[in-house]
Amino acid sequence: MKVIFLFLDGVGIGSPDPCRNPFLEAKTPFLDFLLQGRKLCQGLQPFHSDLVSFYALDACMEVPGLPQSATGQAAILTGKNLARQLGYHFGPKPNPEIAHHLKNSNLFHTLRQRNYRVSYLNAFPPIYFENIASGKRLFSAIPLAAASAGLDLKGYDELMAGEALSADFTAEGWHIHLGIQGVPLLSPKDAGKRIAQLAQNFDLIFFEHWLTDYAGHRQNKVEAIRLLEVIDAVLEGLLRHWSPDEGIIWVTSDHGNIEDLSHRRHTQNQVPLLLVGSLGLREKLPALQSLLDIYPALLSLFP
């Protein structure tokens, strides 16, 4: 059993209005195929096919207000409703209480304690580590959980060696925004292929893509459409080099944002969960209705 977990920050299930929801305009033929010819928007009902299951997950967790990254990601990684404990959603970075839970009990910890091989696939640039070391930057929830579980945070060397991926999948951002020209560029489909190849060495690999949330906050429709089309090509590349019998690919998010470009805020929309793998493997999972259900469902695959 292998699990590939693709976390897409700030992706909800939006309205069927193309003026607000870039999923309606983006050319995403592979995602449309996985969704049985439908676009990702409200009205799409949960279903199970031979290859994929689709769920709509509650990201609010019975807490008023707009869901935020720290409490949402903590729910995924710990199964704990820290938003309810605090009395409010919190983010983007963990506060001390959230950080305490992430440092002491999370998905990566638990799987390593059970002797499973785990990898956090993101490669961070040198300036990231410099800012963390100097205190200019704080860990967000996922790298905090990974580092506290003893996972190596990957950087330039691992990216150069083909052992990691940049957050934008292709490393284009390292060239354009960081001026690091020597890093090999990948096409989105090749990035998907790399994920499939690297997954062979681990029981679970986790990849975090946060640019979707940025595009939502900026209300940048052109960029939002481009990102969704990149993700679609990554999924195609991944599935073309992955056998459904190998395990399950999980694709989900922590809260809505990019699906409603009529404002710059997060949304209270449900978030999608796509599970890709054999029906026999997916049928072993418990019911999935909330972000809080992800952690126990994942652990059920790794006794």
Q: What is the pLDDT of residue 57?
A: 98
Residue 252 clears pLDDT 90, i.e. is over it: yes
Residue 81 clears pLDDT 90, i.e. is over it: yes
pTM for the whole thing? 0.97
Burial class (CB in 10 A: 0-12, 13-18, 19+), 211: buried
Percentage of the chain exceeding pLDDT 70: 100
The secondary structure of the chain as a DSSP string is -EEEEEEETT-----S-TTT-GGGTS--HHHHHHTTT--SSTT---EE-SSEEEEEEBSSTT-SS---HHHHHHHHHH---HHHHHTS---SS--HHHHHHHHHS-HHHHHHHTT--EEE-BB--HHHHHHHHHTSS---HHHHHHHHTTPPPB-HHHHHTTS-B-TTSSSHHHHHTT--TTSPP--HHHHHHHHHHHHTT-SEEEEEE-HHHHHHHHT-HHHHHHHHHHHHHHHHHHHTT--GGGEEEEEE-SSB-TT-TTSSS-B---EEEEEES-HHHHTTS----BGGGHHHHHHHT--
Poorest-pLDDT segment among 137-146, 162-171, 281-290: 281-290
Instruction: Tally the domains of the chain.
Output: 1
Residues 57, 291 contacting (CB under 8 angstroms): yes
Residue 181 clears pLDDT 90, i.e. is over it: no
**Per residue in 93-126, pLDDT tens?**
999 999 999 999 999 999 999 999 999 999 999 9
Question: 36: domain CATH number?
Answer: 3.40.720.10
Residues 252, 294 contacting (CB under 8 angstroms): yes
Task: State mean pLDDT over 139-152.
Answer: 97
Percentage of the chain exceeding pLDDT 90: 98
Task: State mean pLDDT over 183-192.
Answer: 97
Domain that holds residue 175: 2-300
Residue 31 clears pLDDT 90, i.e. is over it: yes
Q: What is the pLDDT of residue 298?
A: 97
Residue 287 clears pLDDT 90, i.e. is over it: no
Task: For the chain, give the mean pLDDT.
Answer: 97
Task: State mean pLDDT over 240-249.
Answer: 95
Q: What is the pLDDT of residue 210?
A: 96
Task: State mean pLDDT over 182-191.
Answer: 96
Residues 226, 27 contacting (CB under 8 angstroms): no
Which of 117, 273, 296 shows the shortest CA–CA distance to 200?
A: 117
Q: What is the pLDDT of residue 271?
A: 98
